[in-house]
Amino acid sequence: MKLIGEKIFARDAEGRLLSRIGTIFFKTPGLVTTNGIHAMQRMMWIDEVNAMREAEGLPAMTEAEEDEELAQSADLIFTDEHVLIRPDPERMDLAFRADEELQKLVSKRKIRFLNTHSAKVRNALRARGENWRMVRSPISHEDMAALVERSRVSLSGEPIYYYNSATGTRYVTAGGVEMLSTLPPARLREQLKEAQGMLVRRNRIGHVELDLFPATTPIEIKEGFKALKIDELGDDELVDAVKRFDVKWRMSVPPELRDETVENFDWRNAMCQTLTHVPNDPAEAEGELIQGISPEFFRQIEWLPGARIDDGEIIFDPLWEEYDRTRDPELADICDPRARNIIFNLSRAFGAIEYVNVGRIVHSLARTPIAGSRRGNVYIVQCKEADWPDSRVYMIRFQKWGVAEHLDEGKDLLRAMLEANEYTDYILDRRLMCRQLGMKLPPHIGYGQFTEPYTGDNQYKGTTVRTAYFSRAYIQGTASDKIPPAKYRNPVFALRFAKLMGEAAALDMIVGRGSTETKENMFDRIYEVLQMDADGLPERLVVTGHTGSFVNYLEAFEDSVAPYANVVRRRVKFLADPKAFADAYVAAFRQALAATQERYRTHRKAYDRLFVNRPFDVGGSGAYRWAKTLERLDGCDPDVVAARLAEAIGEL
């Protein structure tokens, strides 16, 4: 391939890239990286090809030949870290050809794709198992909230702007303008003039100084802001004009973005995306990679090299070959052997799979992470089978205590294997216990395992051991702790939510769920997912996992109910009628507790004998925990327990 210009990533003495753009050609193989614009590079290439033809004694290209030469090409953009291919969505074949040629020059990990806003581009990459080439690195919920707060700045007046350090653009929100209307007249005028001036200016790198948030704000709103006659209005007239403008702006904003706090995940995610946008950004939100995924997953998935299946043949991402060849530590982080094993298992279990994408959940999705919880053991899988109209999404969670974990405790291999198998049975038994008591868990789970080398410090280091995992379909909906605060201002929404949460809280208490390490209450933290009806009102609640169930199986309900009051207490400031919400919550709690108790008493023998085939050990076996759970359920007074809950909620 002929090169005109500098090599990719070539730098000057100060470490700056010598070229920021390139064009790659395929009819006559070549790469142009000279400074300028893509159109100039294309004309330069035509001149070069004609010069080569002249040297060979051939005539210059015809206009049709020149058009064909230019048609078989692709635009490139170079950043400090990546080569970005800018594909034509209608000619993804050229984009992938560019990808193949560039991999001869730089590592595939350095090559990403632009235009991922196009569904055709996303679908083409997804079908190759390459979600990882479209997204940014994960960032924790806490770090996102801190980023938004840290980006809030002022110029000469109030801190009403949010600053994108990559582009230099500041963003103002409807809430920021509303705050201005409370300022003294003189300060209000100064602040409005400052904002108006920035709206019509660009900074030294060509980006607007100020823009309105969100990006979907109609142009009429921006023009209305620019046209505000600040000096022609009296003080009261100006305040009224600002308030009218603010109301019009707010009504143009999607309802889920009107509550401008980091507690509102929709607003926080949208603002975080705006503040981290950089020029030539290839990234797409997870919501575009997986339709319908909850906002809580925004920037929480680390997509890994996947695989596509061609005529039944598994073709793993070539990045694996590079890792096997180089053992590069940077590649080791994303060439996750567990992801490869998951893909291999899926290919063995299913029929005509077209592609598989696997991602890791690297940060806890809980708003307030549970103490002692382990991270990095949860994966998300997007799998497309030939006879399915769409891809399916699965969540995979690895068994907490497997052979490797028991070896880490110093146990011998046989004991570690036996205890890992017993723990698998215990996990599945607890799921059956929860369902028997009425907990609304996902209807189906799968169980899988594969072998991997043990890497701990036990004498068995290097030994191949089995690793187990459980899979379930992704549950559509929103986790209870991620519901936008503004939703609670609707009394109908609030009361339906309270009822569903009250019922779920009773079941959660009955099965004694808590952190294994700290016994901390886990309700309303991550596992309770609300599903809405066509009107956007709560319709059902699904508990996505039974992790931590039967940790608390001895304490009387009266002594363990107090933490469930937090469901009400943490939402009081958002509620139009806190007392009605609390009453509905407690009533549903009491009813669910009483109904579960009645079901047990009606079918006592069936419940009591459910686990007679399991070991009964007062040290805490599953069968013993089941017996103690039923004993305290039978002996409780639902009215007394509900009264304790109401007492913990307190006066509202």
Q: What is the pLDDT of residue 405?
A: 95
- Three-class SS state of 453: strand
* Amino acid 382: pLDDT: 93
Q: What number of helices (H) and strands (E) belong to the chain?
A: 23, 20
Distance CA 198, CA 163 (A): 13
Residues 219-271: tens digit of each pLDDT: 999 999 999 899 999 999 999 999 999 999 999 999 889 889 988 888 998 99
Cβ atoms < 10 Å from Cβ of 91 = 15
The string of pLDDT tens digits covering residues 261-285 is 988 888 998 999 899 888 777 776 6
Q: What are phi and psi of 397, to 5 degrees?
A: -125, 125
d(CA 114, CA 530): 35
Cα–Cα distances in Å, from 132 out to 115, 122, 277, 334, 448? 15, 11, 18, 9, 24
Q: Distance of CA 587 to CAs 195, 312, 503, 506, 512, Å?
A: 51, 56, 9, 11, 20
Query: Domain extents for the chain?
Result: 2-115, 141-276, 286-473, 478-649
**What would you report as the CA-atom Rg of the chain, rounded to the nearest whole angstrom?**
30
**pLDDT per residue as tens digits for the range 379-401:** 999 999 888 888 899 999 999 99
The partner residues of 307 in beta bridges, in order of sequence, read 316, 356
Contact by Cβ (8 Å): 552, 518:
no
Whole-number pLDDT of residue 373: 45
Q: What is the pLDDT of residue 367?
A: 56
Give the residue carrying structure tokens 């100064």: 190
Q: Which portions of the chain are predicted below pLDDT 70?
A: 284-287, 364-376
Does domain 478-649 fall under CATH 1.20.120? My reply is: no
Helix axes 219-226, 185-199, angle to 10 degrees: 120
- By C-alpha distance, which of 477, 482, 530 is closest to 503? 530
Residue in 224, 227, 231 with CA at minimum distance from that of residue 247: 224
